[in-house]
Amino acid sequence: MVVTDPDVLGGYRQDRALDPDAGIALALVRPLTTEQVATTVRWAHEHRVPIVPRGAGTGLSGGATAQNGALLLSTEKMRDISVDTVTRTAIVQPGLLNAEVKRAVAEHGLWYPPDPSSFEICSIGGNAATNAGGLCCVKYGVTTDYVLGMEVVLADGTAVRLGGPRLKDSAGLSLTKLFVGSEGTLGIITELTLRLLPAQPPQSTVVATFPTLTAATDAILAITGQLRPSMLEFMDSVAINAVEDELRMGLDRQAAGLLVARSDAPGEHAGHEADIMLAACEKAGATEAFRTDDPDEGEAFCAARRFAIPAVERKGPLLLEDVGVPLPRLGDLVTGIADIAANRRVLISVIAHAGDGNTHPLIVHDPSDPEESERAHLAFGEIMDLAIGLGGTITGEHGVGRLKKPWLPDQLGPDVMALTRRIKDALDPHGILNPGAVL
Return the residues of window 347-366 that contact a copy of itself according to CB under 8 A. 353, 356-358
Q: Is 45 exposed, middle or buried (0-12, 13-18, 19+ CB in 10 A)?
A: buried
Residues 209-248, one symbol each (x = binds a copy of itself by CB under 8 A, - = not), give ------------x--xx-xx--------------------
Residues 59-118 that bind a copy of itself (CB under 8 A): 84-88
Nearest distance from C-beta of residue 1 to a copy of itself, angstroms = 24
Q: Which residues contact 67 (CB under 8 A, 6 or more apart)?
A: 23, 25, 50, 52, 435, 436
- Is residue 354 a contact partner of residue 367, using CB atoms and an 8 Å limit? no
d(CA 119, CA 138): 17
**Which stretch in 21-29, 93-101, 163-171, 229-237 sits in contact with a copy of itself by CB under 8 A?**
163-171
Please name the residue ranges forming H helices in 111-161. Answer: 124-130, 137-140
Window contacting a copy of itself (CB under 8 A); options: 96-104, 117-125, 308-316, 386-394: 386-394
Q: Is 250 in the site for a copy of itself (CB under 8 A)?
A: no
Number of residues forming the site for a copy of itself (CB under 8 A): 88
- Answer for which of 174, 314, 345, 366 binds a copy of itself (CB under 8 A) is 174
Is 338:296 a contact under the CB 8 Å cutoff?
Answer: no
CB 404 to a copy of itself: min, Å = 8
With contacts defined by CB under 8 A, name the span among 30-38, 139-147, 207-215, 292-300 that binds a copy of itself. 139-147
Residue of 378, 427, 431, 435 interacting with a copy of itself (CB under 8 A) = 427
Q: Does 426 bind a copy of itself (CB under 8 A)?
A: yes
Per rule CB under 8 A, is residue 16 in the interface with a copy of itself?
no
Least distance to a copy of itself, CB of residue 194, Å: 14
Strand-pair category, 71-74 with 27-29:
parallel
Judged by CB under 8 A, which stretch of 1-9, 20-28, 93-101, 177-185 contacts a copy of itself?
Answer: 177-185
Residues 193-212 within binding reach of a copy of itself (CB under 8 A) = 197-198
Q: Which of 77, 106, 145, 430 binds a copy of itself (CB under 8 A)?
A: 145
Q: Are 133 and 323 in contact (CB under 8 A)?
A: no
Element (H, E) at 73: strand 71-74
SS3 state of residue 273? helix
Residues whose CB falls within 8 Å of the CB of residue 261, separated by 6 or more in sequence, listed in order: 205, 206, 207, 208, 223, 229, 231, 232, 233, 274, 277, 281, 355
Separation between Cα atoms, residue 109 and residue 14, nearest integer Å:
37
CB of 93 to a copy of itself, least distance (A): 19
Q: How far out from the chain centre does Cα 369 lie?
A: 29
Binding residue for a copy of itself, selected from 41, 142, 238, 346, defined by CB under 8 A: 142
Using DSSP's 3-state secondary structure scheme, residue 359 falls into strand
Q: Name which of 314 and 421 has its Cβ closer to a copy of itself.
A: 421
Q: Do the Cβ atoms of 224 and 164 come closer than 8 Å? A: no
Least Å distance, CB 4 to a copy of itself, is 32
> What is the smallest separation between the CB atom of 278 and a copy of itself, expressed in angstroms?
18
- Rule CB under 8 A: choose which of 379, 399, 402, 433 binds a copy of itself: 399
Q: Helix, strand, or coil here: 395?
A: strand
23 vs 201, which CB is nearer to a copy of itself? 201
Q: Site residues for a copy of itself, window 312-351 (CB under 8 A)? A: 322, 324-328
Using CA atoms, how far apart are residues 93 and 24, in angstroms rounded to an integer? 27
Q: If phi over 0 gives left and psi between -120 and 50 gives alpha, with beta otherwise, what is residue 251?
A: beta
CB of 51 to a copy of itself, least distance (A): 18
Binding part of the chain for a copy of itself, among 32-40, 174-182, 341-349, 370-378 by CB under 8 A, reads: 174-182
Q: Which listed residue (372, 420, 431, 435) binds a copy of itself by CB under 8 A?
A: 420
**One character per residue 256-285, x = contact with a copy of itself (rule: CB under 8 A):** ---------xxx-x----------------
Q: In sequence order, what E strands does 106-220 have? A: 110-111, 147-153, 159-163, 188-195, 197-198, 204-210
- How far apart are the C-alpha atoms of 363 and 350, rounded to whole Å? 9
Q: In which element (H, E) is residue 363 found?
A: strand 358-364
Residue with Cβ nearer a copy of itself (1 or 418): 418
One of 164, 271, 317, 389 touching a copy of itself (CB under 8 A): 164
